[in-house]
Amino acid sequence: EEILLTKVVPLALKILKPGDRVPFHVYFSPPMPAYTSVIFNLLTSVKASADNVSTFPLEIEVIDTSISPDGSSAMINGTAKPGTENQVLSMMTLVAVAYDGEGKVIGMRRVEQSVDPNTMTDFPFSIRVYSESGEIVRVEVFGEAE
């Protein structure tokens, strides 16, 4: 008997430039049948242009990453700023991705944060990401703004 589980999942970020990549995740409630393969199908995409894009990338600077002694969580502190000058933004979305020693994604957290464009151009952030299984060795942060 073959069991097929499916779920439609939006990507964590809206915009990817050529060559960019960002992990995504899906959760299925237990109990889970044993499986032998995973298939991903991109359902839709739209080529970005000045006419249809209100979202733009952020430049992320990670200032400090503190991984807990047991590797189960990591705190990332840094700043995010618009990748283009004179961009007015009201909301930023940050995605922290935790990897194990083999480069496997073991944790991910998406945070949306309102920002006041009149106060500063470098927006500070702090994100804690947790491991679903295994020890966190490395963390990356991706971001975009509207």
Looking at residue 55, its pLDDT comes to 79
Q: What is the DSSP letter of 101?
A: T
Question: Under a CB-based contact definition with an 8 Å cutoff, are residues 100 and 74 in contact?
Answer: no
pLDDT at residue 52 greater than cutoff 60: no
pTM: 0.82
Q: What is the pLDDT of residues 62-117, one digit of tens each?
A: 999 999 999 999 999 999 888 766 666 778 899 999 999 999 999 999 999 887 76
Q: Which two tokens stand for residue 122?
A: 């470098």
* Residue 57 to residue 10: CA distance in whole angstroms: 17
C-beta pairs of 10-17 under 8 Å, 24+ apart in sequence: 12/93, 12/95, 12/108, 12/110, 12/142, 13/93, 13/95, 13/142, 13/143, 13/144, 14/55, 14/144, 15/48, 15/53, 15/55, 15/56, 15/57, 15/144, 17/57
Average pLDDT score over the chain: 84
pLDDT at residue 30 greater than cutoff 80: no
Looking at residue 119, its pLDDT comes to 63
* Residue 128 to residue 96: CA distance in whole angstroms: 8
